[in-house]
A and B are shown apart, each in its own frame.
Chain A
Amino acid sequence: MFETISERLGRVIKDLRGQGRLTEENISTALREVRMALLEADVALPVVREFIEHIRVRALGQEVMSSLTPGQAVIKIVNQEMVSLMGESNSELNLKTQPPAIILVAGLQGAGKTTTVAKLARYLKENLNKKVAVVSCDIYRPAAIDQLKTLANEIDVEFLASTVNQDPVLIVNSAVETARRHFSDVLIVDSAGRLHIDNVMMQEIRRVHAALQPVETLFIVDSMMGQDAVNAARSFNDALPLTGVVLTKTDGDARGGAALSVRQVTGKPIKFMGTGEKTSALTPFHPDRIASRILGMGDVLSLIEEVEQKADKEKAQKFAKKLQQGKRFTLDDFQEQLQQMRNMGGIGNLLDKLPGMPGMQQKVDAEKGNREFIKLEAIIHSMTPQERRKPDVINGSRKKRIATGSGTQIQDVNRLLKQFTQMQKMMKKFSRKGGMQNFMRGMGGKMPPGGMPF
């Protein structure tokens, strides 16, 4: 998500950055570009207008004019305004109540409510160690209840059965009762998709809400939605006391317009965003980080968190210890590193979050990079344990065998061995005393030479 908007804003920013002096005219041109970029990204028109006005006023004010680098100052303002548009910081779920804490989700058809319920359940279960139960009161869409049941089984949380001939209010009442008896910490209630102009259905969700008295009422919204997102959000916000928003399908190339407008219209924080097909693909929403991503400044914080969460700490520590002890870096270690990299969602995910990289993503075919990883792993897999420990023994005929075994060319094997030798040299520098510091100083923060396979 956000790539195209950041690409367009990137151009504006580049132009501004070079300006030693800003005139009203070149600010206006820049703002016109920003306006177009935001509209193309489906940011709601009233929100765009307000946003542009804020920036214009501030850009023509003292803080920019007196700045030595006015271009930079404007960028800073855009960033600040964007953050304030999306809400200052991440808001967590509020589950502080007598259990079961009830979460109700609501939204239009096809926004991704049922999937989000499963993702939330998994998130609460795995990250906060909660005992979660889920129930569906979607008695309209064929097989909606089956869908939640299947997902609940998959992630192993309790599914409270309901049938299509029950009244939604009765369903949720008995679900709360059961959740209480089973000592569930959290009960997540899925509701039917409904149009915000459908009075009968909006009345129904109000009744459900009144019966549940949930601590969290989340509005689920598709990040690809157009100008209508604000109307829907406003209607739901008027009908229900929403406590937050979940933005779904952000792994597409939607430009995130909904993210920028929904918060503004409802005043409610975006708490999570859905980032993929799997039930694990849910991440807390950090407005500040998203704003820097939109402006192409990267999101290193999220990247670090992700690495911490997904990388196998034990393995990493073992590896670090091994290096410190001055042991050799072997092909086995190399392979493990590759594996970790893939666990982290591959090159695309990493590039997406590195500063100055979002633009790169178009140029570097992330999938090609990932395929390259798989190839490297296949080559290593085709080696004998002895070869992995002592690559020096690999001669011409062994290379031929490895290439055939891994379905690659001899050149690929050669390339891997060359890369490996380079990495080994680097690792040696690490393992010397104080090597890390020296190394970092030497590198000046650059990427390891030849360490990357593309």
Chain B
Amino acid sequence: MFGFKSKQPAETESGKDRLINQLKLGLKRTHALLLTDVGDLLQGTRLVDQSFMDTLEDHLLLADFGVTVTQSIMDALPARIEGKADQAATVYQALRDLLHEILVPVDQPLKVPPAASRPFVILMAGVNGVGKTTSIGKIANHFIRQGHSVMLAAGDTFRAAAVEQLQKWGSKNNVPVIAQHSGADSAAVIYDALQSARARNVDILIADTAGRLHTQGNLMDELKKIRRVITKFDPALEPECLLVLDAGTGQNALMQTRQFNEAIGVTGIMLAKLDGTAKGGIIFALARETGIPIRFIGVGEQLDDLQVFNSNDFLNALFANSA
């Protein structure tokens, strides 16, 4: 448990199955909340009445969908199931369609642009303790398996031992880590790494940053500076500003996304720690309210516990037992 396994061969069938199973496991609770209970509700010849709708509403709220999204789903659902509401499958299908419509616009996997602008920079940002550094380890592994060369930049110079933590992930992936002493200027570290990455012709540079609460103006300014430094190094670079969110976060995830977006222009979201319970609902709120592409989801602590976000897979996992 929690040991770091050696690299898995790229995309074997069993590897993929394992990931899907893991995702399913992670979503089991959400799934149980959304469907099994609703399934029970629908057993027999029970019609979709007010108490059914109330229960469904509760389940959505419990899964962190949030008041706004839940409300809009509850408003839209009756029209979709009109006349055939006594069939469980119809209600499932209608609900699935509704949820799918919310997720489609944000279902855009991260593509590494053609070789022209190297390095492709992935700037990781997020509040404290969401799992940025662990995610970097996993994303690095993901791109290495696709045959890219990767370098890491230890931009978290604030938290004690953050540099060491990243270095350990670097050595597990066997990729270079550019680091300075703790307390160094984060933007300077990343500028250093950019130079080094270009000199060594590295495909992808993943830059760590210190966790910061989105309400801390000074720290957000520091992040803006880091973002500026990348453009300063080469205006042609189009970095991926990847915001890491903890899947266990409630509606505050929206505030975080807005603030980070304002500061650095978030181009993608990674939802980490989706292997817990009652999680996933916030993804719908995020999709609806921000429209920012969701790139990856993290489903465990091992090197390959990373999934490229795919709305169909996500919903399949969510609706595994239905249909």
Contacts and interface: CB of A to CB of B under 8 A. Distances in A.
Contacts of A108: 248, 276
A42 interface: yes
How many of chain B's residues touch chain A, expressed as a range? Answer: 35 or more
B57 to A, nearest CB: 10
A251 B164 contact: no
Interface in B266-319: 273, 275-279, 281-282, 301
Tell me if B's interface is mostly helix, strand, loop or mixed.
loop
B225 interface: no
Interface string B247-275: 01111110110000000000000000101
Contact of B164 (A143, A228, A252, A367): A143
B127 A197 contact: no
Interface in B132-173: 134, 158-162, 164-165, 167-169
B250 A257 contact: yes
A225 B277 contact: no
Contacts of B252: 42, 224, 226, 252-255
Interface string A225-247: 11111011000000000000000
Given A142-B165, A226-B282, A249 B128 contact: yes
How many of chain A's residues touch chain B, expressed as a range? Answer: 35 or more
Contacts of B277: 195-197, 228, 231-232
A174 interface: no
Given A109-B273, A231-B277, A253 B255 contact: yes
A144 interface: yes
B64 A154 contact: no
Given A226-B282, A228-B277, A231-B277, A112 B165 contact: no
B273 A110 contact: yes
Contacts, number: 148
Given A110-B131, A252-B215, A255-B252, A195 B276 contact: yes
A200 interface: yes
Interface stretch (A33-41, A207-215, A308-316): A33-41
Given A40-B67, A225-B248, A112 B62 contact: no
A325 B158 CA distance: 48
B205 to A, nearest CB: 20
B164 A226 contact: no
Nearest to A368: B217
Contact of B248 (A45, A115, A151, A222): A222
A257 B165 CA distance: 32
Contacts of B168: 142-143
B142 to A, nearest CB: 18
B251 A40 contact: yes
A277 B162 CA distance: 15
Given A108-B276, A227-B64, A367 B217 contact: yes
Contacts of B248: 108, 222, 225-226, 228-229, 232
The 8 nearest A-B residue pairs measured at CB: A226-B250, A110-B129, A42-B250, A150-B160, A142-B168, A146-B161, A147-B161, A143-B165
12 contacts: A42-B251, A42-B252, A45-B62, A110-B130, A142-B164, A149-B160, A151-B160, A201-B1, A201-B2, A225-B249, A226-B282, A227-B278
Interface of B: 1-2, 29, 58, 61-64, 66-67, 127-131, 134, 158-162, 164-165, 167-169, 182, 213-217, 246, 248-253, 255-256, 273, 275-279, 281-282, 301
